[in-house]
Amino acid sequence: MKSFNRIFFALSASLLSFCAFAQQYQASFTDSQWEFTGNRVACAIKHTIPQYGSGIFEQKAGERVSFVLTAKSYVPPIQTAMLSSVAPAWMHNESSLKLATIKTKSQQVVVSSDVAERMLQELSSGRFSQFSYQPKLVKGKVNVVVSSVNFLDAMIQFESCRQGLLPFSRQDVHHQLSLFNNLGTEITHRNRKLLSKAVTYVKEAGDEERIDLVRGTDGFSVKDGRRFYDKRVKKIREFLIGEGMPEEQVIALDDPEALDTPKGSVRIKIAGPEPFKHIYFRSGSVSLNKRDNIKLDYLLEYMRLQKPEGTLVLKGYSDSEGPRHVNMLMSKKRIKIIKQYLLSKGIEESRITTKAYGESKPTATNRYPTGRQLNRRVDISISG
């Protein structure tokens, strides 16, 4: 009998020790709530987990669903969490199902779309989702339980909301280029489609959201680009207001850092082809600098959006310093370095035509350094 008592107390002590170190975060059956919010831009259902934080299913327009578990109070740091579907007490004889192993380095666990969809299915069937992990430097396991109690009503709203989401995402309109033809201010058909999508997105996102208009070639704009920028902004403002945007919610920003862009607002970059029309070179140089590379990258983006079937025309020139044949060779080398850069970025060679002129056809007098600087260049245009 004494032996039995010793074993009993040893087991009891062991069990109490385990329970003391185990941490369980879970809403009680009477307190479990799910809160739905949504519009045509984003749908979400939120579950509060007392003393821990919250779990949120969210799906944004043009994207797939995700689940994020966020700790709002201090909890032991998470490195690897095991996600399981577990049966509540009233589902007798049902075993747990492992859904995924998730690695993280923060107080937030992000569940990818496929697994998040599986979580929705499991919760809809009445099972709970449980995140379990072993904290570093802390004894015992931590369990965070997402309850299915009162889930179904919120799920019905969430599913209905998902069906009505816009077919495009914020990224399809935010920080996109609103492009114009050379020295032009007329809004092209492609441009109108982008701007109309931006209006639709912002109006659905909420009454406080807005459209910011910024310079799309900030850092390497040129005189012609600056001269036409204000005219282009005016045209776009008129179009956006005509599409139903309140005037006070269309803001032109000279300084892109002047205002933060709220998550429901979008920022449109206004630009034309002027910045990449000329690449200038130092005397005797055939190399490209960082600014030149940025210009050429912008050229490629402009072509992709505005002239996807276009052909690039490169014309090389030099100043009149030195022998004529040397200047002709220099203009050819400058064309070559630009062509090589464009080829390295994926442009087919058949879409590039070149012509070297040497010191002929100067754009300015070669008598002064400023004129010679303007003559050491490669002109770039797009045909077709």
pLDDT tens track for 32-49: 999 999 999 999 999 999
Neighbouring residues of 329: CB distance < 8 A, sequence distance ≥ 6: none
pLDDT of residue 89: 83
Q: How many CB atoms lie within 10 A of CB 60?
A: 18
286 sits in which H/E element: none
What's the full length of the chain, in residues?
A: 384
Summarize the confidence of residues 63-70 as an average pLDDT: 96
- Residues 339/300, Cβ–Cβ less than 8 Å: no
Structural domains in the chain, CATH included, are 18-163 (2.60.40.2540), 170-274 (3.30.1330), 278-383 (3.30.1330.60)
Look at residue 27 and tell me whether its pLDDT is greater than 60. yes
Q: pLDDT tens for residues 338-351?
A: 999 999 999 999 99
Other C-beta atoms closer than 10 Å to the C-beta of 173 total 22
Computed over every residue of the chain, the mean pLDDT equals: 88
pLDDT for 263 equals 77
Lowest mean pLDDT among 18-22, 188-192, 255-259, 318-322: 18-22
Q: What pLDDT shows up at residue 218? A: 63
Distance of CA 170 to the CA centre of its chain: 8
Q: How many angstroms separate the CA atoms of 135 and 91, rounded? A: 29
* pLDDT over 50 at 154, yes or no: yes
Structural tokens at position 333: 């080398």
∠ CA 305-308-314 to the nearest 5 degrees?
105
Contact between residue 212 and residue 268 where contact means Cβ atoms under 8 Å apart:
yes
User: Hey, what amino acid is at 328?
Assistant: M
DSSP-derived pairing of the beta strands 176-179 and 142-146 = unpaired
Q: Between β-strands 23-25 and 142-146, what pairing exists: parallel, antiparallel or unpaired?
A: parallel
Could you tell me which of 195, 191, 184, 173 has the C-alpha nearest to residue 306? 191
* Cβ 195 vs Cβ 268: under 8 Å: yes
Residue, of 123 and 228, whose pLDDT is higher? 123
- CA dist., res. 26 & res. 20, Å (int): 16
Q: Which residues pair with residue 81 across a beta bridge?
A: 102
Percent of the chain with pLDDT over 70: 90
C-alpha to C-alpha distance for 42 and 165, rounded to whole angstroms: 7
Give 181's pLDDT tier (boundaries 50, 70, 90): confident
Query: What pLDDT digit, counting tens, does each position of 79-131 carry?
Result: 889 999 999 988 877 888 999 999 887 778 999 999 999 999 999 999 999 99
